[in-house]
């Protein structure tokens, strides 16, 4: 009999839920600030996060992070979430 191991899908789901909870707590801190201030704050937090990784891994961590953001934006737009379009008079689908 094989030893029990945590289910990878469950671990990913738990991390996704935790990530969403953290993002919901950060959102109100950014809300109401101009986009350039929000971006600067997120860049500062991202810098701190990247510096927690081994120096040899930082470029790849940053690259993977940007790829994940691009994919998340694509998924959000496909799902009908695009505040920019909404501000131009279009509605969510």
pLDDT digits (tens, 9 = 90+) for 14-60: 999 999 999 999 999 999 999 999 999 999 999 999 999 999 999 99
Quick check: 92 and 80 in contact, CB under 8 A?
yes
pLDDT digits (tens, 9 = 90+) for 10-23: 999 999 999 999 99
Q: What are the distances in angstroms from CA 87 to CA 29, 70, 90, 92?
A: 21, 21, 7, 11
pLDDT at position 84 is 83
Q: What pTM does this model have?
A: 0.71
Residue 85 has pLDDT above 90, yes or no: no
As a whole number of angstroms, the distance between CA 39 and CA 72 comes to 17
Query: Percent helix, strand, coil in the chain (nearest 5)?
Result: 70, 0, 30
pLDDT band at 89 (very low <50, low <70, confident <90, very high): low
Using the Cα atoms of residue 79, residue 85, residue 87 and residue 91 in order, give the sign of their dihedral: negative
């Amino acid at each position: 009999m094989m030893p029990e191991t945590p289910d990878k899908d469950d671990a990913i789901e738990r991390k996704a839920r935790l990530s969403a909870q953290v993002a919901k707590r950060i959102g109100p801190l950014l809300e109401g600030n101009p986009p350039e201030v929000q971006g600067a704050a997120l860049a500062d937090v991202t810098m701190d996060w990247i510096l927690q990784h081994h120096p040899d891994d930082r470029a790849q961590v940053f690259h993977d992070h940007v790829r994940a953001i691009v994919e998340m934006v694509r998924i959000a737009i496909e799902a009908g979430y695009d505040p920019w379009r909404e501000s131009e008079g279009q509605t969510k689908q």
